[in-house]
């Protein structure tokens, strides 16, 4: 995919970016009567963007009964630990009308008795069991309806970090990470092949400290190893939703 097929949208503030993403989410939910499989990120996506989704869905009179929530990445720490992305996501979804816990697809925590590798394997199995492939042919790669990504100032997205070779050719859909440069070190993440099979990928990136990463991600010809954010594209739609700070290094 060329960079030309990635659409950038800039809003003046973090709140305006969250509201814009929320309106797009409402349009997506309203556009279908099917179940929707949405993978979300932690960090600012969980604390600033998802709450806006909940508000906008309520304003539109829509409920969350058809929405499955998955994780773009998760930290392998004990259940309930503040570092678990599911903690912030579950908190954001508390007011989501009609949302059932059974549709919140958390990964195994470090106190589950399973290993980090087991957690990755189990999550891939759950994805394969519940998320249909784009062509509907059994056994194909699950195609999430939406992957909602954030990014770090280093250009990492989900738990895919710059300087990691082979991101594009990962054989698995979910991988374990043992040496995340950003703590905590142990994580599970969707791989680039899993993300790229999603119908839509929306990366919500805010803050001037991420401007250089956004610029690199938007550079024609950038590799996945240089910029995982730049390589995270969807089959039908790839959006980079930015605030003015994150967009300030773009031409």
Q: Which residues bind ligand LXAUTJHC (CB under 6 A)?
A: 41-45, 72-73, 85, 150-152, 159, 182
Can you count the helices (H) and strands (E) in the chain? 8, 9
Q: How far is the CB of 178 from ligand LXAUTJHC (least distance, A)?
A: 15
**Cβ closest to ligand LXAUTJHC, residue 88 vs residue 136:** 88
Cβ of residue 212: shortest distance to ligand LXAUTJHC, in angstroms?
Answer: 14
Residue nearer to ligand LXAUTJHC on the CB measure, 62 or 119:
119
Alpha-carbon distances of 29 from 53, 145, 151, rounded to whole Å = 11, 10, 24
Q: Any bridge partners for residue 242, and if so which?
A: 10, 205
169-178: list long-range contacts, CB under 8 Å, 24+ apart.
169/193, 172/120, 172/124, 173/124, 173/127, 173/128, 173/141, 173/142, 174/120, 174/121, 174/123, 174/124, 174/127, 175/120, 176/76, 176/116, 176/117, 176/119, 176/120, 178/116
HSE-up (13 A, CA, CB side) for residue 66: 14
User: CA–CA separation, 39 vs 100, rounded Å?
Assistant: 16
Residue nearest to ligand LXAUTJHC (CB): 43
Identify which of 154, 238, 153 has the alpha carbon closest to the alpha carbon of residue 192.
Answer: 238
Closer of 9 and 66 to ligand LXAUTJHC (Cβ): 9
Shortest distance in whole angstroms from residue 63 CB to ligand LXAUTJHC = 25
Q: Quick one: CA dihedral 230, 233, 237, 243, positive or negative?
A: negative
Token duo for residue 100: 């059932």
Between residues 159 and 218, which has the closer beta carbon with respect to ligand LXAUTJHC? 159
In contact, 249 and 17? CB cutoff 8 Å = no
Structure tokens at 72: 């773009």
Which CB atom, from 14 or from 131, has the smaller least distance to ligand LXAUTJHC? 14
In the bound state with ligand LXAUTJHC, the residue whose beta carbon lies nearer, of 35 and 248, is 248
Cβ closest to ligand LXAUTJHC, residue 152 vs residue 162 = 152
């Amino acid at each position: 995919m060329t960079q030309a097929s990635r659409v950038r949208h800039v809003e003046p503030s973090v709140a305006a970016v969250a509201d814009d993403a929320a309106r797009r989410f409402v349009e997506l939910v309203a556009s279908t009567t099917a179940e929707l499989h949405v993978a979300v990120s932690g960090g600012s996506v969980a604390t600033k963007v998802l709450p806006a989704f909940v508000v906008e869905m309520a304003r539109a009179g829509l409920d969350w009964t058809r929405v499955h929530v998955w994780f773009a990445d998760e930290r392998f720490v004990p259940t309930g630990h503040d570092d678990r992305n599911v903690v912030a996501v579950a908190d954001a979804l508390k007011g989501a009308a009609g949302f059932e816990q059974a549709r919140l697809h958390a990964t195994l925590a470090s106190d589950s008795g399973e290993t980090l590798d087991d957690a990755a394997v189990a999550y891939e199995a759950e994805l394969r069991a519940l998320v249909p492939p784009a062509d509907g042919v059994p056994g194909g790669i699950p195609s999430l309806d939406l992957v909602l990504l954030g990014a770090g100032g280093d250009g990492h997205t989900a738990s895919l970090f710059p300087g990691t070779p082979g991101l594009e050719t990962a054989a698995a859909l979910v991988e374990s990470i043992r040496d995340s440069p950003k703590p905590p070190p142990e994580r599970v993440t969707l791989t680039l092949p899993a993300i790229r099979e999603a119908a839509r990928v929306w990366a919500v990136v805010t803050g001037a400290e991420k401007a250089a990463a956004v610029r690199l991600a938007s550079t024609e010809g950038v590799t996945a190893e240089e910029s995982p954010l730049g390589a995270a594209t969807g089959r039908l739609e790839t959006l980079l939703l930015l605030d003015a700070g994150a967009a300030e290094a773009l031409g």
